Chains A and B, each alone.
Chain A
Amino acid sequence: MGERFESVDATAARLREVDYLSDTNIAGVVYLAERLGKPVLVEGPAGVGKTELAKAVAATVGARLIRLQCYEGLDESKAIYEWNYKKQLLRIQADREHERDWETVESDIFSEAFLLTRPLLEAIRADEPVVLLIDEVDRVEVETEALLLEVLSDFQVSIPELGTIVGKQVPLVFLTSNNTRELSEALKRRCLFLHIDYPDIEREKEIVRVRVPEVDAALAGQIAKVVNSIRNIDLKKSPSISETIDWARTLVFLGRNEITPEVLGDTLHVLLKYQSDIAKTRKELGVDAPAVIKK
């Protein structure tokens, strides 16, 4: 089975092939998840590549990514399956003219054709390999979480009218959380836990080089150092990896291959999104406001 991960190092190498730079911790947990067949709960600040990890893993193993975006009020009918009421009503109306008996009608309208599959059922029924991503699971209510739990532990869904649908495979599952609320113990117990934090200078430098190939090694190193320095300041919202990449692209676009205080001052708003954060960073790093504002 060439698709499986051989070891932690092999996992890291294969993630790298799809431009995802992991570290031992990330690769280790992914490897383990695949070996143990357990879901991974990924937690960490916004923009450190939690969702990206699931996408990268899917690309690596050549699986289809099925994504369930969570939000407050998400329920069974949006997460697992729903009967297509409107279509069923139409069918009943159409059938009326043929004067069919109720049994036939019922078996008719509660068949696959009238079933709307939602992400979880889709993942369970899939024939081809899939990776299931349950994004921002901390946004759903506790009751919905219990529902997810049930599906995740058995990988089967019972539809009263159709019977139990059992998964042909246990897909790799990633759940991401921004930690806006404490998830239930039961859910945490079932998952492997992976906390992704901001990367260190070396790794961020590599990430910049991979994602923005136009940037040379020296500039990438400088970018990583500056971002690291800004993260050391106590801010409302520290720059995330995606903002680092945006910044690198901005620098390329402006044709800068060196970061001077002036360049940083002009482009700081790409990295930071709060005016108070920008002001504080300027003061801390001794960087002036852009010339336009100064006048």
Chain B
Amino acid sequence: MQWSKLDHAMSRGSGEVTILPTEPHMLDVLQGFVHELRIAGLPVSMTENLDAMRAVEFVSLDERESFKAALGATLVKNAGHYRVFDTVFEVFFSMFSPGVNADGESDLDADAQANFDELRAAMDQGGAMGQVSNEELAQMLLDALMRMDQNEMRMLAGAAVARFAGMEPGRPVGGAYYLYRTLRQLDADGLVSKMMARAQDEQQIGAGAFDERLAREDFEGRLKVLKELIEAEIRRRLVADRGVEAMARTLRKPLPEDVDFMHASREEMQLLQRAIYPLTRALAARLAQRRRHRRRGHLDFRQTVRHSMSYGGVPVEPKFKRPRPSKPEIMVVADISGSVASFARFTLQFVYAMQSEFSKVRSWVFIDGVDEVTRFFDESQELSEAIHRVNTEADVVWVDGHSDYGHAFEVWHERHIREVTKKSSVILLGDARNNYHASQAWTVAEMRKRARKVFWLDPEPRGYWDTGDSIVSEYAPYCDGVYEVRNLRQLQKFVADVVEA
């Protein structure tokens, strides 16, 4: 056995390599693909680009999944970026999708195979299965779902889109509209109960609520696969109609760390939720390491002498004590009024997930009244539960429930200013949209006098600051730093800075 060496592989002749007949074209597509990935924010380097070009020599496009794996392995180096990669891949390579594997993988049993052939024949004859009625189509789809036969499902999804989506060339409608139409015609919502009923008839599942739940989840999973197949089919047709670049532009999605807190969709919120924990863990590990290795501590005499024993009493290797720098104390004061609520939630979550990096974390939330919420985080086992309690139980309304930074800060100052010490960093969160109340900026000045650092985080783009009722610049002179924090990337950078400070 001999593993090919790098340059060896480069110079190897094409004898044992499948060169695609459309190779120049293929490379063009690949370049467009990489370009689009870069626009979407993926850091694809030159080396990775070359790797991808070499990788596609070994895997042909006919094996679609392997082809995708090859591109994924060479171009995407962060699991969080797969979502973007998936979308771009589907757009760029959907045109090459044969619909069904060319050789129609025959791991079906004989019966299903007959069914399948019939279906294919029907498709060949009457375009979108002219002779099959809607009921028959629905029946076939149900059969395929029960068997979880992906090939057949893909085929049927194609037929369903052709029949139900009503796609017309040049019509400026998004894919979601066609997806909705197709799913409604197929009665997608009813499919799960149909599958349940069928399974019960065939006594595949027991009677208990527990069994039922398991079966339901299984079927919901299958339905999701079907939906994805239909979506892929719609995308394929849209790309054929509008062209690759245009579709890529329409479907462009931000990376999780670039999703704007203020305008995140529900799906993106979940994405952020999942992204936040690994991010904090990675950050905490990095900071802990850097703190420990920043400089060596004093000579550890005892250890050095002990270690010299193995060299016959010669202190060959001096040993040092590990430095133990003190951790900062964090006080977070966050506006949780409607416009910035999700920003405050993520920031609190982020800070508490990194609790181990701080000696102490205390938090307050306000709208026009202010309330300490540290207790929720101390009492609750889980962050999500604590955040829920902050949203429901904290007493933050004083007069009318419109943000009043001035009053909130005044009250906070009166109650807590004495607890601020040279060890504490105060972090103020909000867009500083004060509804034209007084700013009471002197309170922030007082905080700064006593605290180690005072920071302000604003979730609005810098360009919007000081427009309308935003008064960031009235507080800014008393802060050590005012940061624009619109996404996880910026939040992460800020937290790193604070811990370093």
Instruction: Show the binding face of A for B, using Cβ within 8 Å.
Output: 1, 3-4, 8-9, 24-25, 27-29, 31-32, 34-38, 40-41, 43-44, 61-63, 72, 85-86, 89, 129, 141, 169-172, 179-182, 185, 188-195, 200-202, 222, 225-226, 228-229, 232, 234, 236, 260-261, 264, 276, 285-287
Q: Does B54 interact with chain A (Cβ within 8 Å)?
A: yes
CA distance A220 to B8 in the complex (A): 46
B364 to chain A, nearest CB (A): 27
| Cβ–Cβ < 8 Å partners of A180 in chain B | 281-282, 285
Known: A27-B66, A43-B79, A129-B1. 5 other contacts (CB 8 A): A8-B63, A8-B66, A86-B310, A202-B148, A228-B218
Nearest-Cβ distance from residue A7 to partner chain B, whole angstroms: 8
A89-B311, A276-B381 known; A225-B77 Cβ under 8 A:
no
Any chain A CB within 8 A of the CB of B498?
A: no
Q: Which residues of B contact A225 (CB under 8 A)?
A: 214-215, 217-218
Indicate if B454 sits at the interface (CB-CB under 8 A): no
Q: Which residues of B contact A172 (CB under 8 A)?
A: 3
Residues of B within 8 A of A85 (CB): 310-311, 316
Contacts of B58 on A, CB cut-off 8 Å? 31-32, 35-36
B73 touches A28 (CB 8 A): yes
Q: List 25 A-B contacts (CB under 8 A).
A: A28-B59, A29-B69, A29-B73, A32-B58, A32-B69, A34-B3, A36-B55, A37-B5, A37-B8, A38-B51, A41-B77, A62-B1, A85-B316, A86-B311, A172-B3, A179-B79, A181-B282, A188-B78, A192-B51, A228-B218, A229-B213, A236-B382, A276-B382, A285-B213, A287-B210
> Which residues of B lie under 8 Å from residue A287 when comparing CB positions?
210
Q: Which residues of A contact B214 (CB under 8 A)?
A: 222, 225-226, 229
| B38 interface residue (CB < 8 Å to A) | no
Contact, CB under 8 Å: B1 / A89: no
The interface residues of chain B lying within 8 Å CB-to-CB of A44 are 79
> Which residues of B sit under 8 angstroms from A193, Cβ to Cβ?
72-74, 76-78
Instruction: Report the bound CA distance from A44 to B415 in whole Å.
Output: 47
A236 to B, closest residue via Cβ? B382
> B47 in the interface, Cβ–Cβ < 8 Å?
yes
Query: What is the distance, in angstroms, from A272's C-beta to the closest C-beta of chain B?
Result: 14
Interface residue range, chain B: 35 or more
CA A52 to CA B215, docked complex, whole Å? 31
Q: Say whether A141 contacts B1, CB under 8 Å.
A: no
B43 at the interface (CB under 8 A from A): yes
Which residues of B, 330-374, contact A by the 8 Å Cβ criterion? Answer: none
Interface membership of chain B positions 284-299, coded 1 if the CB is closer than 8 angstroms to chain A and 0 otherwise: 0110010001000000
What residue in chain B is nearest A276 (Cβ atoms)? B381
Is the CB–CB distance between A181 and B73 below 8 Å? no
Chain B contacts for A31, CB-based, 8 A: 58-59, 66
- The residues of B with any CB-CB pair to A shorter than 8 Å are 1-6, 8-9, 43, 45, 47-48, 51, 54-55, 58-59, 63, 65-66, 69-70, 72-74, 76-79, 82, 148, 208-210, 213-215, 217-218, 221, 278, 281-282, 285-286, 289, 293, 310-312, 316, 381-382, 384
User: In this complex, which of A4, A8, A89, A236 has the most chain B Cβ atoms within 10 angstroms of its Cβ?
Assistant: A8
Expressed in whole angstroms, the Cα–Cα distance for A38 and B7 within the complex equals: 11
From known contacts A24-B65, A141-B293, infer whether A195 and B54 are also in contact, taking CB-CB under 8 Å.
Answer: no
A25 to B43, CA, bound (A): 21
Q: Is the CB of A8 within 8 A of B59?
A: yes
Name the CB-closest residue of B to A11. B66
Partner of B3, one of A9, A169, A192: A169
Q: Which residue of B lies closest to A12 (CB)?
A: B66
The 8 closest A-B pairs by CB, nearest first: A28-B69, A3-B1, A24-B65, A188-B77, A8-B66, A192-B73, A28-B66, A195-B79
Chain A's nearest CB lies how many Å from the CB of B171?
Answer: 35
Q: Is the CB–CB distance between A261 and B208 below 8 Å? A: yes
Query: How many whole Å from A32's CB to the nearest CB in chain B?
Result: 5
CA distance in complex: A43, B316 (Å) = 39
A32 touches B1 (CB 8 A): no
Selected from B45, B73, B78, B209, the residue in CB contact (under 8 A) with A286 is: B209
A193 to B77, CA, bound (A): 6
Most-contacted residue by chain A among B5, B209, B214, B217 (CB, 10 A): B214
CB distance from A144 to the nearest CB of B (A): 11
- B3: which A residues are within 8 A, CB to CB? 34, 37, 129, 169-172
A287 to B361, CA, bound (A): 37
Q: Are B65 and A32 in contact (CB under 8 A)?
A: no
Contact among A1, A38, A185, A222 with B43 in the assembled complex (CB-CB below 8 Å): A185
B residues less than 8 Å from A286 (CB atoms): 209-210, 213
A170 and B69 within 8 A (CB)? no
Q: Choose among A37, A43, A172, A236 the residue with the greatest number of B CB atoms under 10 Å from its CB.
A: A37
Q: Find out whether the CB atom of B65 lies under 8 angstroms from the CB atom of A28.
A: yes
